[in-house]
């Protein structure tokens, strides 16, 4: 167990790195028009500044989580942080779109090194009785970083050129690396070997899923999405056949046999899809439907992440005492209710009417995230924490990507009513996630060993 002083330093470096990696997935969106003009690229081509990063992160999360189990989470984290910081410097120095896109791929792999072992490190930093609190603080950092990305980008662009969006990561990354050297704990290593074929199949599977979802969202016809889904399904079948029977597979099928783990992962995907739908569609709703200015829109979006910042640590503390199924289910039901109330607002609502609804949404989302993350991580054996951490980040990214794609689809199919449609879809995903979360109450985990699945029948006695 780490002493309190070292524990605080370890959490500080983990939180600094994860906030940078999450922020960089969002801030580039705001700067795309400026970057496109500066490097003489078309708006369509400039999308690769975002897509290159997102694809690199998504396809490498599970392989890097597996490397963390084999070589230690601290090594993968420090390697990812070094690569992310170095790539940030080269992003700031890029002068053409191809150059920037290539370096963004490298930066994405560095970010994936951070994200893939983030929750695993928190598990080994915090004592067991404080794990919920640690996961709650981690969820707070991720949620706030994801929400304030556009605001941070706008603030930087108001006083500096777009390269500073990336250059600002360099000093922060150096400080985080120095703190990590003397604070992060050594973790047990798994005896299994890294499988490069499994890594390739995992990358193809998730990469093609992202391509298919993006194609559906932009309504580019069904041929490309169908082919991408077919390719992803084929890679999934091959990967599953290779991993069946393995004690620690890269695609953690062994963990998905545990109902708590599987339900927690599904809850995360549905809830982050709801968040993605809401975060992308609400600015359009406030501006195009309610007629608010850009500045007012930013201010009206603020209550959501601000309330998450308040609710997530509280939920983390409660998660050490109460079941995640109840906390997550109630929180997501509140989020669904808040989103329905937003969609049903009158044509000319007062700012207060918007603010209290956004506060309700933030409270609901904040009470889901910490308990769900704790349940997902704690339902895996300690030696399989890397796989659980990788799935935790993958679920979040898949959910957010699906939500953003569905917003684009709603806009293309519903026209002017697309924003309201997207918000109703977000409420539906949140309600679905609430139901899935409640299903966890039908499955209990023995307090004697939180990594084991509780068997049906009489409660087992502690060993």
pLDDT exceeds cutoff 80 at 214: no
Stretch 389-410: mean pLDDT? 82
pLDDT exceeds cutoff 90 at 397: no
Question: Could you tell me the CA-to-CA distances from 29 to 36, 46, 162, 275, 367 in Å, in that order?
Answer: 11, 10, 11, 17, 28
Give the least confident one: 81-90, 179-188, 357-366: 179-188
pLDDT exceeds cutoff 50 at 51: yes
State how far the Cα of 280 lies from the Cα of 401, in Å rounded to an integer.
Answer: 11
Helix (H/G/I), strand (E/B), else coil: 246: coil
Kind plus residue range of the DSSP H or E element containing 442: none
Q: What is the pLDDT of residues 221-277, one digit of tens each?
A: 678 888 888 998 999 898 888 877 777 777 788 788 888 999 999 999 999 999 888
pLDDT exceeds cutoff 60 at 208: yes
Torsion of CA 380, 385, 386, 387, to 10 degrees: 0
State how far the Cα of 72 lies from the Cα of 6, in Å rounded to an integer.
Answer: 18
Q: Does residue 117 contact residue 77 with C-beta atoms inside 8 Å? A: yes
DSSP secondary structure string for all residues of 102-134: HHHHHHHHHHHHHHHHHHHHHHHHS-GGGHHHH
Residues 6+ apart with CB under 8 A from 405: 213, 214, 216, 217, 218
> How many C-beta atoms lie closer than 10 Å to residue 388's C-beta?
27
pLDDT band at 218 (very low <50, low <70, confident <90, very high): low
> How many C-beta atoms lie closer than 10 Å to residue 79's C-beta?
18
- What pLDDT shows up at residue 79? 94
- What pLDDT shows up at residue 453? 37
pLDDT exceeds cutoff 50 at 58: yes
Highest mean pLDDT: which range of 196-200, 303-307, 361-365, 368-372: 361-365
Stretch 445-457: mean pLDDT? 38
Q: Does residue 180 contact residue 78 with C-beta atoms inside 8 Å? A: yes
| % of the chain surpassing 90 pLDDT | 26
Question: Measured between alpha carbons, how far apart are the two ends of the chain, in Å?
Answer: 22
State how far the Cα of 103 lies from the Cα of 460, in Å rounded to an integer.
Answer: 53
Q: What is the pLDDT of residues 140-152, one digit of tens each?
A: 787 778 767 767 8
- What pLDDT shows up at residue 341? 95
Q: Which two tokens stand for residue 447?
A: 């307090």
What is the overall mean pLDDT for the chain?
Answer: 83
Between 177 and 243, residue with greater pLDDT:
177
pLDDT exceeds cutoff 90 at 34: no
- What pLDDT shows up at residue 29? 65
- What pLDDT shows up at residue 452? 38
Strands, DSSP E only, in 38-77?
A: none
pLDDT exceeds cutoff 60 at 448: no
pLDDT band at 44 (very low <50, low <70, confident <90, very high): low
Strands, DSSP E only, in 295-449?
A: none
Stretch 100-125: mean pLDDT? 90
Question: Could you tell me the CA-to-CA distances from 172 to 16, 102, 338, 383 in Å, in that order?
Answer: 8, 22, 36, 31
Between 161 and 434, residue with greater pLDDT:
434
pLDDT exceeds cutoff 60 at 436: yes
Q: Which two tokens stand for residue 431?
A: 């309600």
């Amino acid at each position: 167990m780490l002493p309190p002083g070292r524990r605080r330093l370890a959490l500080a470096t983990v939180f600094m790195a994860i906030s940078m990696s999450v922020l960089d997935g969002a801030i580039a969106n705001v700067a795309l028009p400026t970057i496109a003009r500066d490097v003489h690229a078309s708006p369509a081509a400039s999308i690769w500044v975002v897509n290159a990063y997102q694809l690199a992160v998504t396809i490498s999360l599970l392989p890097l989580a597996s490397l963390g189990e084999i070589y230690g989470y601290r090594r993968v984290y420090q390697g990812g942080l070094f690569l992310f910081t170095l790539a940030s410097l080269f992003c700031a120095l890029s002068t053409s779109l191809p150059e920037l896109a290539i370096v963004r791929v490298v930066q994405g792999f560095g970010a994936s090194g951070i994200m893939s072992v983030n929750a695993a490190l928190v598990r080994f930093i915090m004592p067991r009785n404080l794990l919920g609190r640690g996961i709650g603080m981690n969820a707070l950092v991720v949620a706030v970083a994801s929400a304030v990305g556009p605001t941070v980008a706008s603030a930087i662009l108001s006083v500096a050129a777009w390269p500073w969006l990336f250059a600002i990561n360099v000093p922060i990354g150096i400080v985080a690396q120095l703190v990590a050297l003397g604070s992060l704990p050594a973790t047990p290593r798994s005896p299994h070997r890294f499988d490069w074929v499994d890594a390739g199949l995992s990358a193809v599977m998730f990469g093609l899923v992202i391509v298919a979802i993006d194609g559906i969202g932009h309504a580019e016809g069904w041929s490309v999405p169908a082919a991408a889904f077919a390719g992803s399904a084929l890679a999934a079948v091959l990967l599953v056949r290779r991993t069946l029977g393995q004690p620690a597979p890269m695609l953690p099928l062994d963990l998905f046999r545990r109902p708590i783990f599987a339900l927690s992962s599904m809850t995360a995907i549905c809830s982050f899809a709801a968040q993605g739908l809401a975060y992308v569609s609400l600015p359009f709703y406030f501006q195009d439907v309610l007629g608010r200015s850009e500045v007012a829109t930013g201010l009206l979006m603020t209550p959501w992440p601000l309330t998450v910042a308040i609710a997530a640590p509280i939920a983390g503390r409660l998660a050490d005492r109460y079941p995640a199924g109840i906390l997550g289910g109630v929180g997501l039901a509140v989020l669904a209710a808040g989103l329905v109330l937003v969609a049903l607002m009158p044509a000319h609502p007062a700012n207060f009417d918007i603010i209290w609804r956004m506060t309700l949404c933030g409270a609901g989302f904040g009470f889901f995230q910490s308990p769900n993350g704790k349940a997902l991580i704690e339902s895996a054996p300690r030696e399989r924490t890397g796989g659980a951490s990788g799935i935790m980040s993958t679920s979040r990214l898949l959910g957010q990507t699906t939500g953003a794609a569905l917003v684009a689809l709603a806009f293309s199919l519903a026209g002017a009513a697309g924003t309201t449609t997207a918000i109703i879809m977000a409420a539906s995903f949140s309600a679905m996630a609430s139901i899935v979360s409640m299903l966890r109450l039908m499955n209990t985990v023995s307090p004697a060993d939180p990594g084991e699945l509780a068997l049906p029948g009489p409660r087992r006695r502690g060993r």
